[in-house]
Amino acid sequence: MMSLKNRLIGAAVLWIVVGMLSAGFALSAIFREHVTQQFYDELYVHLDELQRLVNVGKGGQAKVERQLSDPRYDVDSSGFYWEVQRNDHVLARSESLKGGILKTPVDDAADAGVHTHEIDGPTGSLIVAERSKWTAPDGPPVRYIIGTDRRHLETVLASFNNMLILALGLLGLTMALAAAVLITFAMRPFAGMREALMRVRSGQEKRLSGQFPPEVQPLADDLNTLLASSSDLIQRARTQAGNLAHGLKTPLAILTDEAHKIAEQGLEQSSKTIFEQCSRMQTQINFQITRARAVAMRAVPGTVASVAKAASEVTSALSRLYRDRMLNIDNDIADPAKVACDPQDLNEMLANLVDNACKHAKEKVRISVAPGSPSDLLQIIVEDDGPGLPPEAYDIVFDIGQRWDSQKPGGGLGLAIVRDLARLYGGDISLHPSKLGGLAAILELPRLQDAC
């Protein structure tokens, strides 16, 4: 979707283009009207001068006292012509005019007024002005005709239009650039707010900081209030979850103690049933408490964890735990990437996966980052050289309380917690055969690009 800034710039540019086009057409039309009127005014002046300089007697002889003051009427085919006619005969004409007679429409009005026409001239379309003068009441009038090629008018108009297009184009471009600069400057507070939000998201700050204009500051204040309120709600939810776990811990301990007493009385089957149910309840409590904490932390802005740091801590702890088995736990993670996940939850997921790998490994466990991880996800691989699992067991081991190998220690909760936590953060986990010969668990978590 187009950004707000681009929308505003696009609307401003569109409005400027429409305005420039409208102004261009209006100015061109006004100038055309003005210049055309000037051409006709000039023709009227020359027509008056022609009528004063050319005298026609009663016998039809024309006497030209001198040439017109405009020298263009003396240049051959210049586009400036005059002619004096009587009864369709040429009595006198300008030096510039060659060829046949100028044929103008016959006007019905029998007066001495000026009439204008546009006719075919020797060098193109000709704009003419004419006036009739009667030398005898019963004879034909003398017609004084003067004209200018339309191309002279069109040349002036074309030159003006070219300059107008260039001027309006430069003006429009300048206005568009100015609008873009102004809109970009006006949107800078929102960019600053986005940067502040990214700092909160990356864990660098807990609230929006910075100076914002009066129009934006209320939004920043409301966001800070919302962040503080969310943090308080989440903290209360985590506290209540802890209180719930603590409140159930004592009743479960009492039930377990009663199961031991029942076993001492020889009721082994009843004792075993109570032990199993207590174990299931404890498993469910642990799972739901962990899930509740993850749901709460996922909603907290700034939840960030370093993968390399978590892997180093887990490797160090489990290396000491499995020292007697002489296991080689390799931490090949050097990627500085961070993931959008609570550090405690990331440690718990990695600890479950590495611990599960150590339980089944023969000699080696390896933690690494897949080199071809997507840009938005980080793939963490935990693999071992143990016996592995058949493909049909890949889904079963993710069920709460389910274990494929009942001979190994554990409550069947680890992989279920890992998958649920990963999905809560927008990731996932899958099992595959390992290149070491055993099982490979691939944990996917959202990569925090701006925190790298």
pLDDT one-digit tens code per residue, 69-80: 999 999 999 999
Q: Which of 21-30, 47-56, 282-291, 328-337 has the highest mean pLDDT?
A: 21-30
Residue % of the chain over a pLDDT of 70: 84
Instruction: Give the pLDDT confidence score for residue 294 in this predicted structure.
Output: 56
Residue 231 pLDDT class (50, 70, 90 cuts): low
Residue 410 pLDDT class (50, 70, 90 cuts): very low
When mean pLDDT is compared across 221-230, 269-278, 403-412, 430-439, the lowest value belongs to: 403-412
Q: Is the pLDDT of residue 412 over 50?
A: no
Residue 152 pLDDT class (50, 70, 90 cuts): very high
When mean pLDDT is compared across 95-109, 238-252, 354-368, the lowest value belongs to: 238-252
Instruction: Give the pLDDT confidence score for residue 408 in this predicted structure.
Output: 47
Q: Is the pLDDT of residue 46 over 70?
A: yes
Instruction: Give the pLDDT confidence score for residue 197 in this predicted structure.
Output: 77
Instruction: Give the pLDDT confidence score for residue 287 in this predicted structure.
Output: 64
- pTM equals 0.53
Q: Is the pLDDT of residue 404 over 50?
A: no
Q: Is the pLDDT of residue 125 over 60?
A: yes
Q: Is the pLDDT of residue 50 over 80?
A: yes
**291 or 217, higher pLDDT:** 217
When mean pLDDT is compared across 277-286, 348-357, 396-405, the lowest value belongs to: 396-405
Mean pLDDT of the chain: 82
Distance (Å, rounded) from C-alpha 86 to C-alpha 334? 108
Instruction: Give the pLDDT confidence score for residue 184 in this predicted structure.
Output: 87
**82 or 279, higher pLDDT:** 82
Region 131-139: what's the mean pLDDT? 79
**72 or 62, higher pLDDT:** 72
Instruction: Give the pLDDT confidence score for residue 443 in this predicted structure.
Output: 92
Residue 108 pLDDT class (50, 70, 90 cuts): low
Q: Is the pLDDT of residue 414 over 80?
A: no
